[in-house]
């Protein structure tokens, strides 16, 4: 008996099936927004003794119920907050901070280790205003750390890498450089510009 070739499968409806699946995935897809500002909450501990902090080492940021920004008791626009925070943190008033580029004003903060930013908001403050302020304060720290990273990076073998980039590379599994060395640089910068942000719980 003569061998008959198998009849060809009709693939005309393939496109329809693929379209159906495509539309299903189109509808169910949500591109996740998975980035944000990481924060660490302070643990609850019974601490009766008051720590005395000099007034000049505290940078008070108050956000009122109309989303107005009050920095060191003066009204301020959001766009000026970053520069003001950098000026305060980088002041180096007592002269112990040899990497600071500030004005060394004795009436402002002593050194970045002592400088504390105190953020206070009211219950009626909107969340978006709060996030904007948080963002600007984080940006102030990042700016200072980036500058420092570009200064000390080249001598440690990390040329043209700012602090944000260093952290990113440290987390990146594909990074080819020496991670232990990178970690040491990151820790050093973190120590030089520690993030001291205190928030007041508004009841």
Partner 1 sequence: MSKFKSKKDNALPAVNTASLPDIVFMLLFFFMVVTVMREDTLLIENRLPLADQVEKLEKKNPISYIYAGKPTAAYKKFGTEARLQLNDKFAEISDIQAFIDAERAALREEALIPYMTISLKVDKEANMGIVSDIKQELREANALKINYTVGTGSALDN
Residues 142-161 that bind partner 1 (CB under 8 A): 142
Q: Which of 127, 155, 159, 174 binds partner 1 (CB under 8 A)?
A: 127
Name the burial class of residue 119, with classes exposed (0-12), middle (13-18) and buried (19+) by CB atoms within 10 angstroms of its CB: middle
Tokens 């890498």 correspond to 161
Name which position in 1, 26, 51, 52 contacts partner 1 (CB under 8 A). 26
Residue 68 CB, shortest distance to partner 1, in Å, is 14
Quick check: 83 binds partner 1 (CB under 8 A)?
Answer: no
Please pick, from the candidates 8, 9, 51, 79, the single residue that binds partner 1 as defined by CB under 8 A: 79
Examine residue 7 and tell whether it contacts partner 1 (CB under 8 A): no
CB of 109 to partner 1, least distance (A): 21
DSSP 108: S
What is the C-alpha radius of gyration for the chain, rounded to an integer number of angstroms? 27
Q: Is the dihedral of CA 67, 71, 73, 76 positive or negative?
A: negative
Question: Should residue 75 be labelled a site residue for partner 1 when binding is judged by CB under 8 A?
Answer: no
d(CA 189, CA 194): 8
Does 118 sit near partner 1 (CB under 8 A)? no
Residues with Cβ within 8 Å of 32's Cβ and at least 6 positions away in sequence, in order, are none
Q: Which two tokens stand for residue 111?
A: 């050194």
Q: How near is the Cβ of 131 to partner 1 at its closest, in Å?
A: 4
The site for partner 1, by CB under 8 A, has a size of 52
- Return the range that interacts with partner 1 (CB under 8 A); candidates 48-56, 108-116, 121-129, 151-159: 121-129
Distance in angstroms (rounded) separating the CA atoms of residues 17 and 9: 15
Tokens of 94: 């007592």
Distance CA 164, CA 146 (A): 7
Query: Residue 143's CB: how many other CB atoms inside 10 A?
Result: 20
3, 128, 155, 174: which one contacts partner 1 (CB under 8 A)? 128
Residues 162-201 as x/- pattern, contact with partner 1 by CB under 8 A: -----x---x-----------------------------x
Q: Which residues bind partner 1 (CB under 8 A)?
A: 11, 14-15, 18-19, 21-22, 25-26, 28-44, 63, 78-79, 121-132, 134-136, 138-139, 142, 167, 171, 201-203
């Amino acid at each position: 008996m003569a061998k008959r070739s198998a009849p060809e499968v009709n693939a005309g409806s393939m496109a329809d099936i693929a379209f159906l699946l495509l539309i299903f995935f189109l509808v169910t897809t949500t591109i996740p927004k998975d980035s944000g500002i990481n924060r660490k909450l302070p643990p609850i501990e019974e601490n009766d003794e008051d720590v005395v902090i000099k007034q000049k080492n505290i940078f008070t940021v108050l956000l009122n119920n109309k989303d107005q920004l009050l920095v060191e008791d003066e009204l301020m626009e959001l766009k000026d907050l970053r520069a003001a925070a950098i000026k305060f943190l980088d002041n180096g008033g007592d002269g112990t901070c040899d990497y600071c580029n500030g004005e060394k004003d004795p009436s402002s903060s002593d050194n970045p280790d002592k400088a504390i930013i105190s953020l206070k908001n009211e219950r009626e403050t909107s969340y978006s205003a709060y996030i904007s302020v948080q963002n600007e304060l984080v940006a102030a720290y990042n700016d200072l750390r980036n500058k420092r990273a570009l200064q000390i990076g080249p001598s440690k073998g990390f040329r043209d890498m700012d602090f944000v980039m260093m952290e990113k590379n440290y987390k990146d599994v594909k990074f080819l450089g020496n991670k232990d060395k990178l970690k040491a640089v990151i820790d050093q910068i973190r120590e030089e510009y520690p993030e001291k942000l205190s928030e007041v719980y508004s009841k």
